[in-house]
Amino acid sequence: MPLNYKDPYIPQEVLEISSGFEAIFKQATAAESYGLDEIAGVGYRKALEFLIKDYCIHKNPDSVEAIKSSFLGTVIRDNVDDANVKMCAERATWLGNDETHYVRKWEDKDINDLKVLIELTCGWVRNNILTEKYIADMER
């Protein structure tokens, strides 16, 4: 690892549902720290897909195969109920797609915006998982 590399913060609740996200996100962060900005964005986009699909599988365990085989945008549209997760994940997907395509649609946004949206998505996922946990643990 380069001297300036630091493992990114990933909430424990996210780690528990998506080890794939953790591995890919760390690799994308390492690639970026090496100055490999042309591939780091692709890695961040892949990490987002694992995060969202694993989150949706966590929420909908009976739909594993459908979630795994669907496009990310379809998974977000059909399986994410929380408005904040949905809006942040959609926008992160748009910017992530820009990292993989020849022509950018969001020319005023870059990899830093993508990382912020992934961070926001992680936070909202964490909030949802914790909310579910405490509601279930404290029912009367």
CA distance 24 to 39: 12
pLDDT for position 5: 77
pLDDT for position 6: 86
pLDDT tens string, the chain, 140 residues long: the values are: 556 778 999 999 999 999 999 999 999 999 999 999 899 999 999 999 999 999 999 999 999 999 999 999 999 999 999 999 999 999 999 999 999 999 999 999 999 999 999 999 999 999 999 999 999 999 88
CA distance 92 to 84: 12
Say whether pTM exceeds 0.85: yes
Nearest Cα residue to 55 out of 10, 94, 106: 10
pLDDT for position 136: 94
Cβ count near 63 (within 10 Å): 15
pLDDT for position 140: 82
pLDDT for position 3: 61
